[in-house]
Chains A and B, each alone.
Chain A
Amino acid sequence: MLFRFAHASLGYATHEVLNGISFEVNAGDFIGIVGPNGSGKSTLVKTMLGLLPLRAGRMEWRGSCPTIGYVPQREQIDPIWPMRVRDMLQFTLTALEPPHWRRRGEHDRVAEVMQTAEIDALADQTLDTLSGGEMQRLLLARALIVEPQVLLLDEPTAAMDLFATERFMSVIARLHREREVTIILVTHDLQSLAGRASTVGILSHGTLHHGPTSTMLSAERLSEVYGHPVHVHRQEDQLFIAMEGVENGG
């Protein structure tokens, strides 16, 4: 066990968002967290990052808390900042060091994470020239700077085109496969979890239901969560999901 919630209540000082949350994450897991808008995904992410205190229950890490690499949605990034891709990574790295007077050369780690996130060709581009997919891979590279044991990704593929989504997810899958980084992926994109996530947690009606991906991404489960009939068709690792009746308000 790497991490677990036990009978946890999550939320803000004035109101509870999620209750009765109990689940475990093991080292090397790939876990998907899904749920409709307003179901508490952001609350869960903030709590796991230590930005929100628990209202009740327990949140435990095995031993000391591992290094978490956080990948936010790219909309949180303001591209008016006058930085190149390599500058942003260098700043992040040097911000973690003690204050220093002399400027240091670029760390090897910057080049390494740019290569891992497949943005080495963009090193000298400024933030305002990056596409959505490129920006998201830059945020992934920034999270990798700290050599994380756990990657926590908050809807990284939202509003991304199919090619950019596949490219991003292939980098994540490679990190999970080759470096055994524990992945916790919060997403709306159910298709991207099929064939990748071993476990899926669904946030619904103020609590979390979790289990193996094949069970959780079933037509019955998803219909219950989203309140609409959902059809699921599997073909090898691909998952095709269709929801009926939405356009008629049904």
Chain B
Amino acid sequence: MIADLREMYTFEFMRYALTVGVFGGGMLAFLGIFVHLRRIVFLGAALPQITALGIALAIALHLPLLAGAVLGGLVGILLLSTSGKPGHLPTEGWVGIAYASGGSLAIVVLALSPHPDAGALRFFTGDVLGTNRAEALFAIGVAGLTAIIFRLCWSKFVVSSFDPVMSQTLGLKVRAWNALLFLCLGFGLAAVMNSAGSMLAFGMLIGPPAAALMCFRAFPKVVFTAVVLGAAAAFVGLTTSFLLDLPGGPTMATAALAPVLPAWIYRKIKG
């Protein structure tokens, strides 16, 4: 078994896919804790769609895909964080519009693209095996930077997210900390989306932190569990997809969401 695993990961494409899965997945699982606690899961669903639109535009305009992913993510965050004011439409309405229009426009743009790319659909179906070295390094870099930022400013992120009004009265720059959190989220999604697609990105963002939050009621345990589950899901999903000849991204996303059911049962039993 070990020998099989070793052999499996002698392939370069498998190692790159695993790198993006472990680092990107662990990072998104961590950021997903804030997505759940701030009750902005819908925003977490819409952002990958807008990022996908950025990637599609990059393909159509013959630009680097990574630039499209990052730009799409950042524009999405900018739009969604300022929505909800004009037109008396609740924020959820704007998030829904962004979700639907981002995904559909991305496919339309690809169909109209003057530079057809046979591999373009992998960003939507989540063919993580197409990951290259640059994408893997980008995922490591973003995950490392996110870890450093949060290690340094952990309590500022928690307090400004937990009670923004009180934080403002204490002199915390809530808008700046929100912007930094969303910036990390935008780059994190771009790092995973760019190589593994929206399905995996959203699965990692939602599944592992949901399971961790249902099992534990203290931050250190929640963070540790979410990150470990995210990274483990990448390994288990990728290995399973290779052995059973399944699509990599969706299998990894399934592995990321799999702990939710046992965590829910555990919470029900524990009360």
Contact = CB atoms under 8 A, between A and B. Distances in A.
Contacts of B37: 78, 80-81
The 4 closest A-B pairs by CB, nearest first: A95-B159, A99-B152, A94-B155, A95-B155
B99 to A, nearest CB: 24
Interface stretch (A23-31, A84-92, A186-194, A233-241): A84-92
B151 A101 contact: yes
Interface of A: 49-51, 68, 70, 72, 76-78, 80-84, 87-88, 90-92, 94-96, 99-101, 126, 128, 142, 146
Interface string B95-107: 0000000000000
Nearest to B156: A95
Given A72-B166, A96-B170, A100-B152, 9 more contacts: A70-B166, A76-B163, A77-B162, A81-B158, A83-B218, A84-B218, A91-B162, A92-B159, A126-B217
Given A91-B158, A91-B159, A83 B170 contact: no
Interface in B150-197: 151-153, 155-156, 158-160, 162-163, 165-172
A146 B159 CA distance: 14
B163 A95 contact: no
Contact of A72 (B156, B158, B163, B171): B163
A81 B169 contact: no
A147 B37 CA distance: 29
A92 B159 CA distance: 6
Nearest to A68: B169
A61 B18 CA distance: 59
Contacts of A72: 163, 165-166
B242 interface: no
A122 to B, nearest CB: 14
Given A77-B163, A91-B158, A94-B155, A82 B170 contact: no
B213 interface: yes
Contacts of B151: 101
A43 to B, nearest CB: 14
B167 A95 contact: yes
B219 A95 contact: no
A222 to B, nearest CB: 30
B155 A91 contact: yes
B46 interface: no
Contacts of A81: 37, 158, 162
A87 B218 contact: yes
A76 B163 CA distance: 8
Interface of B: 37, 39, 151-153, 155-156, 158-160, 162-163, 165-172, 213, 216-219, 221-222
8 contacts: A70-B165, A78-B39, A90-B155, A92-B155, A92-B170, A95-B155, A95-B158, A95-B167
A82 B213 contact: yes
B168 to A, nearest CB: 6
A99 B216 CA distance: 26
Contacts of A94: 155
Nearest to B33: A82
Contacts of A82: 213, 216-219, 221-222
B146 to A, nearest CB: 14
Which of A51, A76, A82, A101 has the most chain B CB atoms inside 10 A of its CB? Answer: A82
B271 to A, nearest CB: 12
Contacts of A91: 155, 158-159, 162
A83 B218 CA distance: 5
Which of B155, B158, B167, B219 has the most chain A CB atoms inside 10 A of its CB? Answer: B155
Given A78-B37, A83-B219, A94-B155, A51 B162 contact: no
Which of B159, B166, B219, B221 has the most chain A CB atoms inside 10 A of its CB? Answer: B166
Nearest to B149: A99
Contact of B171 (A88, A96, A142): A96
A126 B222 CA distance: 14
A146 B163 contact: no
A126 B213 CA distance: 13
B155 A50 contact: no
Nearest to B213: A82
Contacts of B222: 82
Nearest to B159: A95
Contact of A50 (B160, B169, B219): B169
A226 B169 CA distance: 32
Nearest to B177: A95
Contacts of B159: 91-92, 95
Contacts of B153: 99
A70 B169 CA distance: 7
